[in-house]
Structure 1
Amino acid sequence: MILLAEDHEANIITISRYLKAKGYTILLARNGQEAIDIAKSQSPDLILMDISMPGMDGLEAIKYLRQDSDHRLATIPIIVLTALAMKSDQEKCLEAGANGYLTKPVKLNQLTTIIQQILVKGSINEFI
């Protein structure tokens, strides 16, 4: 089960259709607070987090999840999917607690490779 935290409709449609076709169940959040609420109630195996969202952004949501006293929430793997492509943006996301970072437009085959590596092997070092 993958939680997609994204507010751009075209990205939601593209990513969720692709991942559903690959056999994943998709949960959808349109801002950081929804992502936190859904993560607490549904316990996804992985979160795909956009950074630029209305209300609470993805960076704030990642920090919140990583500081949660519930170990289950604090350790959910998080991959950032963002249009923010500067090296400093990547560093901010990883420092906040993201496990991986991909810039948009996302290559869907690369995304599924990373997801499979995290869920099966627990490692994504080569993609960071």
Structure 2
Amino acid sequence: MADQKTILIAEDSSVILNLTKKILELQKYKIISAKNGGEVLKQVESQPIDCVLMDINIPVKDGMECTREIRRNPDQRISRIPIIAITGNANNYSMEQFREAGVTDYLPKPLDFDALVRVVKQYIG
């Protein structure tokens, strides 16, 4: 499938990662993963990615810092990737802080998998 979309899931919980991966693979997306912010940045620079599901609380560099770095990338193919923040403590952040960091949209934890699929399709089809 030449038009298969690739989603990077940045998530340090293997349970959440595996569930999310299975749900999105059923929708025919190609899934790659990163367990920390350093891996996220390596992945987006090493291959074409259509969307990032970014856990805000990941080690090394948190999701907000990763998002800012992706947005500062001089390559527009990278800096314009839709980034969907996933967080269990969205109350710690305002929509304004998400927007300022460059987050495209966000989903609260525990993840509603129907909402996950809907939001992903909204940004990458």
TM-score after normalising by structure 1: 0.89
Q: Deviations over 1:97-123 (max 9, x none)?
A: 010011101111111111111113xxx
Picking from 32, 42, 59, the partner of 1:54 is 59
Q: In structure 2, what is the equivalent of residue 70 of structure 1?
A: 75
Identity of aligned residues (%): 35
1:93 maps to amino acid:
F
Instruction: Report the number of matched residues.
Output: 120
Matches within 5 A, 1:21-60: 21-60=26-65
Q: Deviations over 1:12-56 (max 9, x none)?
A: 111001111111110000111111110111121000000111111
Structure 2 Cα separation of the partners of residues 82 and 88 of structure 1:
10
Structure 2 Cα separation of the partners of residues 43 and 70 of structure 1:
11
C-alpha displacement of 1:88: 3.2
Secondary structure at the aligned position of 1:14 is classed as: helix
Picking from 86, 103, 108, the partner of 2:108 is 103
1:5 lines up with 2:15 in the alignment: no
Structure 2 Cα separation of the partners of residues 13 and 100 of structure 1:
21
C-alpha displacement of 1:93: 2.0
Q: In structure 1, what is the equivalent of residue 3 of structure 2?
A: none
Superposition CA RMSD, Å = 1.2
Secondary structure at the aligned position of 2:84 is classed as: strand
Show structure 1 runs of 4+ deviating over 6 A.
none
Structure 2 Cα separation of the partners of residues 34 and 82 of structure 1:
18
- Structure 1's unaligned 5+ residue stretches are 121-128
C-alpha displacement of 1:89: 4.1
Secondary structure at the aligned position of 2:89 is classed as: coil
